[in-house]
Each structure stands twice: as C-alpha cells, then as structure tokens.
Structure 1
Amino acid sequence: MGEEITPNHVVEVSGGIRSDDLAAIVQAICAGDLLTVLQSARTLIDSGKTPKLILSNLLAVYRDLLIFKSVPKSQSAIAGTLSYSQLRQVASRLDFISIDAALTQLQKSESQLRVTTSGATWLEVCLLNLIPKNERQPLREQQGSQHNGSKNSTAQELNSIWTKVIAATKPANRTLLSRAKLTSLNEDRCRLAVPTSDVKKFQSNIALIERIVNKALGYSVTVAIEAREELLT
C-alpha cells in the first residue's frame, strides 16, 4: 500500500511486457550482443510471454523509433511502448536503414509465427536477424566479458542454440545433427564436435549442414567438423 503505480506495474498486471525489458532487448540488438538478446528473449518466454506478443511489442518499438527519427518532437504520435527517454537513447544508435530493415524482418517473422510450431525458435532467429552483421559480437568474446561462471552459461547457450537448430530442421536431418555438439560459434564460423565414426558422414553432408545452420541462425557461417571420441559414450 502507498506504492506509486507506474506504467510498468500496469503492464505487468495486464500481462504485457515491461518497457525496461523491451529496451534491454533493443539495446542488446544495437550492441550486437547475441548472448544478451537470446537470454532476454528466453527470460520473457519463461515468464509466460508468447513469441507473438514479444514480436508484436518489438514491432511497435521499431515503429515508434521510425516516427521518432522522422519527427523527433511528435510525442503524441508515439504509442508509448518505450518511454520517450528510452526511445531517444535507442534512436541515437540507429539509422533509417537499420530501422526499416528491422521492421521488414519483424513483419516477415510475424507471418512465419502464424504457421510454425516452433515459435520460440523463429523468435530467436528473428532477433538474431535484427542484429546488423557488422555489429555482431562473437559469443567467445562475449564470454570473456562475463563474470565468474560465464563458461558454464556460454556452454548452456551453445547447447540451447544447437537444440534450436535441430528442432528447426526437417525430421530426416535430425538424427544426424543430434550426433553433433556445438562447441563454438562466432560471427563467421561454428565448430561441431562429432564422434570419430561419424566424421566422414558429416563431411560428406557439410553443404547441407551449413544450409541448415545458416537458416536457423539467420546469417552465414562456415561449419567446421572435429572428431571427439568421448561423444561415443
């Protein structure tokens, strides 16, 4: 009792997404911070927010950013998904081309969400596609900037990303991909560890594997295969 009611309180009660959470995702996108983008999205999903709701809110954010950049003083035309100060902070890091590309990507992803059974996967692919390629930070670099325990969290992220890749592909490809483990990922290369007995099979299908991985990630990487005896157990 006596606590001031803020817009974030109203949003929480109505089942929406807090402006601070949306701002954190957009700022991570601007910074090219893949790890934070993925973690923020999963936190929202774990809290009960649907991929469609997250995507719709981000679409509103980028629409407001476009309005803000076009007519900075038109506060009345802004829907209020983010506060005016939050919009100003984010808008300073984006140009019209980036905002327009983001709106196009979000609109395409909304259509995909209507027909997919893997909403969380498509959401993550969409968010990764929102990050300009020249801004993407390798996960390995991001790991070095984290506090103690970051190695475990990064390993969990890699496992989660690979699980999403497998889930997003055709059932016929899942048996093969499930034999691999994603051990590293950066802006232009990913490394898969596979049992020694499967190395030739993976190498002979490397073009297919790269297409699957690139489609799931939303950007192009080269896939490298390495043998790991311990994966046989």
Structure 2
Amino acid sequence: MAYQALYRVWRPQTFFDVVGQEHVTKTLQNALLQQKISHAYLFSGPRGTGKTSAAKILAKAINCEQAPVSEPCNQCPSCLGITNGTIPDVLEFDAASNSRVEEMRDVLDKVRFAPTAVKYKVYIIDEVHMLSISAFNALLKTLEEPPKHVIFILATTEPHKIPLTIISRCQRFDFRRITADSIVGRMKLIADESGIDCDERALQMIARAAEGGMRDALSLLDQAISYSQERVTLEDALTVTGAVSQGFLNKMARAIKEKDVVSGLESLDELLFHGKDPARFIEDLILFYRDMLLYKAAPKLEESLERVMLDDDFRQMAEEVPIEEIYQLIDLLNKTQQDMRWTNHPRIFLEVAIVKLCQLEARQPVQLQSGAMEPLLAKIEQLEHELQQLKTSGVSQAAHEPAPQPQKSAHRSSRNTFQPQVGKINEVLKQATKSDLSVVKANWGEMRGGLLKSHAALLNEAEPVAASAAAIIIKFKHEMICQMAMNRNDFLEAVTASLLKLTSKHFLLLGVPEEQWLSIREEFLHNNQQSEDGTPSESAREEEPHIAEAKKLFGAEFVEIID
C-alpha cells in the first residue's frame, strides 16, 4: 500500500510537534537536559492526544547519540532505528491484546539482559489498564527493583483501573484534550505542506467534531479530502462528521422563536430526508442553545463555544432570545434526548419536541398592576379586622373562665416537648399489617441511599415499626431528632417521594420518640384486646398464629409479647 493515512504520515517526531501538551513536553525536555530520567512514566489522557507518540519521542531522546538533548536529532542510527521499529531494545507492547500474565512474564524475563543497540531498554506498554491482576503483580516486582538500563513508559486512557501500587512507582503525566484552535492550526500546517485546499470553516467544524483528539481530527480530514472534489468545503465537513449545518440550526431556531410549527416540521423532515441521525441532530441543537447561552453570558469567550460559529444570524438570534427561554428550551431538549435513547422510534419524539418548542410560552415574572393591588389590600385589611375581633373575644372569654389547675399549667409550660399524633397513630395500628411493614422495611435501605445526606442523617437512629396501606409509623431514638424530622417539609416530601418511587404507594409519615412509642403501643394493645361486648376485637383476630397458639397452650395471662 503506497498511501498512508494522514495521522500516520504526520505523527509527531519531536516534542515540538506534540500539540496542546506543553505542560508535559516542557517537563520532559527539562528532565532530559538535566539527566534526571525516571525508571517509569505513566502517560494518561483521552484518546488521540499524543501519549504513545510522546513515549516514542522520549525513547529516541534518551537513546540519541547526541544526548543529553531536549529533542531527538532524528538523524543518528538510534533515532532512525527507533522510528522504523528495527531496534529490539525499544519494545512497544499492546496490553489490550496481550493481557495475560504469561505474555507479561515473557517480556519481563528479558528485562535483566543489557541492551544490544542503544544505551537504554525502553518498554512502552500501551493500554496498560487492560492487564490482568496477575500481570500487574508481575510488573510490580520489576518496577520495585528495575535494572539501571531499563525504562518503562505506561500509556492508558483509564488510569483509575490501574492499581495504586503501580501508579505510586511512576511519574504521572496527564494529557488533556487539545483545544479546537490548536487542532485547526495543526491541520492548516498539514494542508499547506500537502498542497490541499481547505476552507477554514471546514477545518473548524472538523476540529470541534474531533472533541479534543488530534488523531480523530486527522482521520476526519482524511475522509473529507477523499469526499471532496478540488477543495474541502464546509458542506464536505458536515457530510463527513454527520453534523447539521449552522444555517439549518439558525433556521430551526428562527422557527422556534417565531412559533412557526409548520416551518419547524418541514425543516426537520428535510433534514431526516438527507439521512441525518435524529440523535445527532438533537445533540447539535442542545449545543447550539448552550453556545447561545454562553455567548449571552460571556461574549468574549469564543473558545468555549463548541458547536456554533459567530455569524450575523447567530448574533441576531442571541439578542432576540431571552435567557429564561433558553433555559426552558435546553430542559425540554435534554428530556427528549433521554427519552429517545429508550425507543425504537426516535423520529416521533423529535417531532413532538419540535411542536412543543414552537408552542413553548416563556415564563415571565408575575408583575401586579396598581389596579390589581387594591383588592389585595382590602382583603388584608378585612383579615386584620377579623383577627382583632378574635383576640378581643378571646380575652373577654378568658376573664370569665376559672383559673386552670396547676397540673394543666405545668403541662402547658412544656411547649418544647414533642407531641405525637396519637389519634392518627392508633388509626394506623388498627389497619397495620405485617406485609405492609415488610414492604417498607425491604425498601428502607434503598430509600435512605437515595436521599440527600442531610435528610438521611435524620434517619440514622430511626426505624419503621408499623405500617398500613396508607401510613407508616417511624420510631426515633431521640425526641429532638424526631421533632426536627417531623417539622421539615422538605424531609417529609423527599422520603414520601422516594418510597412512592420504590413501592408505588403514597405513605403518610408519623413520627414518635422511642419512649412515647412504648406507652402508646402498650395502651393500644390494652384497649384493643376485647371489644365493648366482650368478644375478641378485629386486631385480636388478626394476631399472628404462633402467638394465638401460645395463648391457647399456656393461657393468655402467662404469655408476654415483646416487640
């Protein structure tokens, strides 16, 4: 094959060619000049950002005949041999296809032998996170006590999968995503050197579609060059990347702004007719409004825009659409995108979303006119008058009533004591069943795990002790915690909503401190053993079979039920 892909032809051969990773290349160059070379390096970062290329450049610079140098000369036999892959002392090992411990041991067995052609043996292990645990253990022993002539360079896209014992023995360098401007600059250089005529807007579209990866950008550029005729245009880039043109997005946004449902649906039908992916279109539309929001908030941060280019139509649209409406549009589009992932008919969801967007009414803050204030003021004055009358009648009535008993005043003075809703608790106990309580207890842990930390903390020493089909009694160990929980509406709503999601039942929550629960339960059991006519009550009939059998054998007076 005479032809090679652009990313192979233009693979960086010096640190200067590694785009967008100056924080890594500068550190490595200083270490080379000062001859402070580590025995192991870890290069981590997204795909296509130059990890393996930097590893090979480092291997050449270490073994260059003119060392110490900050850049390999690429002229001496060592540099040329490493570039061509003809020097066996520099080994590039693919852990993705050789993940077993046998392959790793086969490589490590040769570590102790001295290099034959260059000064240092360099082992470049790509996708090192794919190694098995046994292979990592074999590698760890060598990293602990490596020979002086061996250097390991580990490259990975998922450093969190590497054992910490391996990471702690390496110098770690994190490669970051390359900015769109840096990718465009590199592609311009390649296009000029290759004699390829490219539209700058096409390069910008390719750079943003690459999502920070230089290899992805060069692959898309290679594909666009093959698709184009004499010049790579914006339309060629849109076709190759599958993205939607800026003009179409402006047209769709205009239809949404003007509430033109017909125009919006016609544009969508035209888009899908040309083979565009509905999922890709809705993603582009979300990014379009995201860029519009960022442009309105910070117009000078053009580099932060991911999808749009600042043309006149976009600037005019951004001035006309208020920020509150952009929030609503993004929320609706995001919800539609989530729904489209779980359906076999994404087009239907997309069409419904376009109709909703065109019929969306922007939320406006409520502003009362001066005429609307007068009835409210009159109502407030009337309520104040009635309140004053109630206070006056209450004082006159209290003057004729006898003085309260000392016991009652003492009881009223303790206002900080939590008073459980005994009546409602008794009603729940009458209808409570063991199956309802089992359902609640089975989902109790998962419910707590889905709450906020501040809400879950209130349930640390609490547990459900009884439940009916419509309510739950929660026992708290401390009275103060019980009072705090029952007085917080956000806590009650969060617990109720979580249980509704897990059990499909809407429960009423009743809290009771542990001390008061014992007395309430004992009184309930005492009052409900027999009905007024002497026959067993309904709750007595529903007692558990083993309790009834024990009472039958030994007599009810000798059986004590302990919860």
TM-score, with length taken from structure 2: 0.23
Measured after TM superposition, the shift of residue 20 of structure 1 is 1.1
Q: C-alpha distance in 1, partners of 2:357/2:328? A: 8
Structure 1 unaligned segments of length 5 or more: list them.
136-233
Specify the alignment match of 2:245 in structure 1.
18
Specify the alignment match of 1:205 in structure 2.
none
2:320 counterpart SS class: coil
* CA-to-aligned-CA distance 1:172-228 (integer Å, 9 cap, x gap): xxxxxxxxxxxxxxxxxxxxxxxxxxxxxxxxxxxxxxxxxxxxxxxxxxxxxxxxx
Amino acid at match of 1:17: V
Measured after TM superposition, the shift of residue 2 of structure 1 is 8.4
**Residue 92 in structure 1 maps to residue 319 in structure 2:** yes
Q: C-alpha distance in 1, partners of 2:230/2:251? A: 25
Measured after TM superposition, the shift of residue 63 of structure 1 is 0.4
> What are the equivalent positions in structure 2 for 1:30-179 lying under 5 Å apart?
30-133=257-360
Measured after TM superposition, the shift of residue 64 of structure 1 is 0.2
The answer to whether the 8 Å contact 2:284/2:307 transfers is no
2:341 counterpart SS class: helix
Q: C-alpha distance in 1, partners of 2:324/2:230? A: 42
2:275 counterpart SS class: coil
Measured after TM superposition, the shift of residue 132 of structure 1 is 4.6
Name the structure where helix makes up a greater proportion of residues: 1
2:244 counterpart SS class: coil
* CA-to-aligned-CA distance 1:151-175 (integer Å, 9 cap, x gap): xxxxxxxxxxxxxxxxxxxxxxxxx
The answer to whether the 8 Å contact 2:242/2:277 transfers is no
The answer to whether the 8 Å contact 1:61/1:82 transfers is no
Please say which structure displays the higher CA radius of gyration.
2
The answer to whether the 8 Å contact 1:68/1:87 transfers is no
Please give the root-mean-square deviation of Cα atoms over the aligned residues, in Å: 2.1
Measured after TM superposition, the shift of residue 90 of structure 1 is 1.2
Q: C-alpha distance in 2, partners of 1:24/1:64? A: 16
Measured after TM superposition, the shift of residue 80 of structure 1 is 3.4
Q: C-alpha distance in 1, partners of 2:313/2:231? A: 20
The answer to whether the 8 Å contact 2:242/2:280 transfers is no
1:69 counterpart SS class: helix
Q: C-alpha distance in 2, partners of 1:131/1:69? A: 21
- Greater CA drift, 80-89 or 109-118: 80-89
The answer to whether the 8 Å contact 1:23/1:82 transfers is no
Amino acid at match of 1:43: E
Q: C-alpha distance in 1, partners of 2:343/2:290? A: 25
Q: C-alpha distance in 2, partners of 1:133/1:99? A: 11
Specify the alignment match of 2:205 in structure 1.
none
Quick one: structure 1 residues 120 and 82, their matched pair in 2 at CA, closer, same or farther if it must change by over 3 Å?
A: farther
Quick one: structure 1 residues 86 and 3, their matched pair in 2 at CA, closer, same or farther if it must change by over 3 Å?
A: farther
Structure 2 unaligned segments of length 5 or more: list them.
1-227, 363-563
Taking only the aligned residue pairs, the percentage that are identical comes to 25
Measured after TM superposition, the shift of residue 3 of structure 1 is 6.0
Aligned residues: 135
> What are the equivalent positions in structure 2 for 1:149-228 lying under 5 Å apart?
none
Quick one: structure 1 residues 77 and 86, their matched pair in 2 at CA, closer, same or farther if it must change by over 3 Å?
A: farther
